[in-house]
Structure 1
Amino acid sequence: MFGCVVAGRPLQTNLQQVDETHALFELPNASTINHICVFLLGTVSFPEGYGATVHFHWPEKGFQLLGMLSNDKPSAIFRLRGTFTPGASAGPTAFAGGVNLAAGGDVTAILGIAIEPLSQIAPALPDPGSANANGAVVVTTRTADPGYLAEQIVKHLLNFISSFVGDGTVNENTLVPMSAVVRWYEGFKTKLKNMGPGFLDRATD
């Protein structure tokens, strides 16, 4: 039902069902995570009147409520770097106990998802797009859709390449040096690392 992507990493498929209303993803090498995207896969919808809260659990620091998902809001991107407040929330007890040290000494954290009535979720959340009481920034984006994401990446590349063409028109006969493509790729990776995939919604160059 749920998908999870850490910026710069492959789609995670290690969802663990804890019980009927709780599930979690283990996040290895958590100290390097900047942004994370959580989304509904589209195969199963929430029951009428229900949604899910999304929680981040860091070893010895407790839980932090990041935001929520619903049938009307099937995806969200959360910025984790520099936003975690130790002990910010007790969090659902169903997620506790699964956090450990990964190989090499880095931390494996938990992203917990709890299905709850919307009437209980709404009062705990900030206004959409603002920083919540725990300091986490919640940003919704269409880039959770793989098809949309692929289209925006191609558009981003074509816009960059068009700057090397006299009239700005790119077609099958346009010759572009590989050095230009490499330059675009390096810049793209930097933006993705610093801002997450949401920058593609705003990018024009």
Structure 2
Amino acid sequence: MFGVIVPGKMVQTELVQISENQIVCNIPDHENVHHIVVFLTGQTPIPDNYGAAIYLSWPGSGSEQSWTLLGHVTNEKPSAMFKISGVKPKESGNGMNSVAMSSTCAQLGIAIESAAEIYNQTPASNTVPSNLANFQEFSFKMCENLFNYISSFSIKREQIHFAASETFVPMSALQGWYKNFLRKIDNDPNFWKS
């Protein structure tokens, strides 16, 4: 029913069933894993009004295994990519049972749960990868559009008819701002948040 992709590794489709509605798989070399993709294979759909909650457990979390909710997949959303770098489990009661696991592997758990339960759960912060490339592309296009729009109104000095209510900005100032903005977003795409 499910497949798991760890970048740089073979696709995992043979997961271990630990109960009627729970399966797990080991994530070896977890220190070097930053993202995990979970998807439905299409062979068997999830039952109506249900979904699959995706959990992660790190090794060395003590005698009791704790799980961190990453998110979910459903028939309507058959795949998801989760950012796991920096996510550490919190002690919490949740839908995954404790299972014996290697002290060297992280473990991914998938639990079939009702849609109501899944939609009421809050995944761990920073587990969904950002759309940084989309944001950068949007920023470039927005700035380019602004620059082209303002440039379309440019006139030569001798064509200027001064009106008391208007202010003029030299095109060189706009060009300088545009170059500075592009440099800043290349260096730190989140500079605008500070």
TM range (shorter): 0.5 to 0.7
Alpha-carbon separation, structure 1, partners of 2:36 and 2:8 = 10
SS in 2 for 1:37: strand
Distance in 1 of aligned mates of 2:93 and 2:29 = 23
SS in 2 for 1:120: helix
- Whether 1:116 aligns to 2:113 is yes
CA, structure 1 residues 63+41, in 2 after alignment: closer, same or farther (shift >3 Å)?
same
The CA distance in 1 between the partners of 2:115 and 2:129, in whole Å, is: 19
Distance 1:38 1:93, change over 3 A: closer
Pairing of 1:1-205 with structure 2 (within 5 A):
1-61=1-61, 62-82=66-86, 84-94=87-97, 96-101=98-103, 107-125=104-122, 132=123, 134-139=124-129
* CA offset digits 1:89-115 (Å, max 9, x no partner): 333342x233213xxxxx211100000
Paired residue total: 127
- SS of 1:122's equivalent in the other structure is helix
Give me the whole-angstrom Cα distance separating, in 2, the residues matched to 1:41 and 1:116.
18
What is the DSSP-based 3-state SS (H/G/I as helix, E as strand, rest coil) of the residue aligned with 1:100?
coil
Q: CA RMSD in A?
A: 2.1
Instruction: Answer whether contact 1:38 1:75 (CA < 8 A) is retained.
Output: yes
- The structure richer in strand per residue is 1
Instruction: Give 1:46 deviation, angstroms.
Output: 1.1
Structure 1 pair 139/45, CA: closer, same or farther in 2 (3 Å)? farther
Alpha-carbon distance, 1:85 to partner: 3.2
TM-score, L = length of structure 1:
0.57
Q: 1:87 to 1:137 in 2, by over 3 A?
A: closer
% of aligned pairs identical?
A: 35
Work out the CA distance in 1 between the residues paired with 2:126 and 2:107: 16
5+ long unaligned stretches in structure 2: 132-194
Q: Distance in 2 between matches of 1:18 and 1:100?
A: 15
For the residues of structure 2 that align with 1:44 and 1:81, how far apart are their CA atoms?
A: 30
Deviations 1:5-24 (A, max 9, x none): 10111111330011221011
